[in-house]
Amino acid sequence: MLIVEMNNLVVFTVLLKISFSVGFDLNKTVACNIQYYFYHGSSLSIYDIKSFSKIIDNPNFDPDKPTTFYIYGTIEGIWVPTVIAVKDAYLANGRHNFIIVGNKNPFLHVFNNALIIADKFSENMLELINSGYDYSKTTFVSFSLGSKAIAPMTSRLIKMKSNNKFKLPKIVALDPGIVRNNELHLSGGERLNSNDADFVMTVHTDCHYWGTKESHGHVNFWINGGCDQPMCVNDFTKSVCNHLMAAYYWAEAVKSDSKTAFKSRQCASWKHYLKKDCDLSLPVAYIGLYTQANITGDYYVRTKKVVPYSRS
Ligand SMILES: *[C@@H]1O[C@H](CO)[C@@H](O)[C@H](O)[C@H]1NC(C)=O
Ligand SMILES: *[C@@H]1O[C@H](CO)[C@@H](O)[C@H](O)[C@H]1NC(C)=O
């Protein structure tokens, strides 16, 4: 998968260079290909940047429910197994309007284009708010590229363009991708941080290549230490597998609608956690839709190797 992605990147870069030399407008192409997939029951309604604000006119859009926007990762699409797992979990849960934010062309859904996507998405959200949408019911759930760039940048742009009137209530960042110093401009000069929403929670599952060891949220969950997942055993695909597990764990928590899934402890480190050397007077926390928004710090939890992954 790593090799496939690298090959795709080379092909993509070459195509981009050719396209530029014939006067191709990348911004416009990226924006025109943005898709919003609104799932309801067994049906799907697809919107683009022009039609987006009509989502609230869809009879299946319930203004009384909270709305979750799921922003997937690099070159993903709605056919990707983790995206399907998260979608199915929200549909099974049934308590949310659920919309996936992506691009018709997976090769346009990349870090280099994150600012263009965030810029359009923020404009679309402001149009939706102007059409009567209640922004205070919004959560951005994001994975990888979505977490490290598109979700936080969109939130910042909505705040900025509305003169601080609209602040995002919540970001769930599933294994936020690492942002290296030389890439910082691609995430708007800032990494995901606790100013990006009233409550920012991160869920870490890979620390080797795709994810990060840094704490970015109000609360950060380090599942199995945040580096290696016990079901990821193939050396070649290990890091990708670790990374993707963040989405599967989240899907499990959402589907169960549990208030007590993935019972986690605040601890100085994973090593301390394994030695049961944590301050037991500190409150425990759970991963899922009901994670208490008043907790902060680094939390650790162990999972099982097979479904259900949660031990609690
Ligand atoms: C493309 O979009 C980016 C991000 O919104 C912006 O900074 C840049 O100026 C745009 N380029 C053109 C040629 O419009
Ligand atoms: C957090 O809020 C819950 C209620 O949602 C409350 O029971 C708990 O005591 C609070 N914890 C802290 C640390 O403030």
Q: Which domains does the chain have, with CATH numbers?
A: 30-301 (3.40.50.1820)
Over residues 200-213, the mean pLDDT reads: 96
Q: What's the pLDDT score for residue 37?
A: 98
Q: What's the pLDDT score for residue 1?
A: 41
The protein residue with its alpha carbon nearest to ligand 2, atom 14, reads 294
pLDDT band at 10 (very low <50, low <70, confident <90, very high): low
Q: Do residues 119 and 46 touch, judged by C-beta distance below 8 A?
A: no
Q: Which atom of ligand 1 is nearest to the CA of 119?
A: 5
The protein residue with its alpha carbon nearest to ligand 1, atom 1, reads 27
Best of 24, 25, 27, 113 to mutate for ligand 1, by most ligand atoms within 8 A of CB?
A: 27
- C-beta neighbour count of 244 within 10 angstroms: 26
Best of 201, 282, 292, 296 to mutate for ligand 2, by most ligand atoms within 8 A of CB?
A: 292
Query: What is the CB < 6 Å shell around ligand 1?
Result: 27, 115-116, 119
The protein residue with its alpha carbon nearest to ligand 1, atom 11, reads 27
For the chain, the average pLDDT equals 94
The protein residue with its alpha carbon nearest to ligand 2, atom 10, reads 294
Share of the chain above pLDDT 70, in %: 93
| 153 Cα–ligand 1 center, Å | 14
Q: Which atom of ligand 1 is nearest to the CA of 27?
A: 1
Give bridge partners of residue 219 from the DSSP assignment.
201, 297
| 121 Cα–ligand 2 center, Å | 34
Residues 6+ apart with CB under 8 A from 124: 36, 49, 52, 53
Angle made by CA atoms 274, 280, 283, in degrees to the nearest 5: 110
Q: Do residues 92 and 252 touch, judged by C-beta distance below 8 A?
A: no
Over residues 111-132, the mean pLDDT reads: 98
Is the Cβ atom of 297 under 6 angstroms away from ligand 2?
Answer: no
d(CA 196, CA 140): 11
Over residues 272-294, the mean pLDDT reads: 96
Q: Which atom of ligand 1 is nearest to the CA of 115?
A: 4
Q: Do residues 249 and 262 touch, judged by C-beta distance below 8 A?
A: yes
Q: Which of 144, 101, 183 is nearest to 1 (CA)?
A: 144
Handedness of CA 202, 207, 210, 215 (dihedral sign): positive
For the whole model, what pTM was predicted?
A: 0.92
Which one is predicted more confidently, 17 or 37? Answer: 37
CA 160 to chain centre: 21
Q: What's the pLDDT score for residue 3?
A: 44
pLDDT band at 43 (very low <50, low <70, confident <90, very high): very high
pLDDT band at 2 (very low <50, low <70, confident <90, very high): very low
Range in 20-24, 60-64, 203-207 with the lowest mean pLDDT: 20-24
The protein residue with its alpha carbon nearest to ligand 1, atom 2, reads 116
d(CA 285, CA 86): 21
Best of 218, 282, 294, 296 to mutate for ligand 2, by most ligand atoms within 8 A of CB?
A: 294
Q: Is the pLDDT reported for residue 307 higher than 70?
A: yes
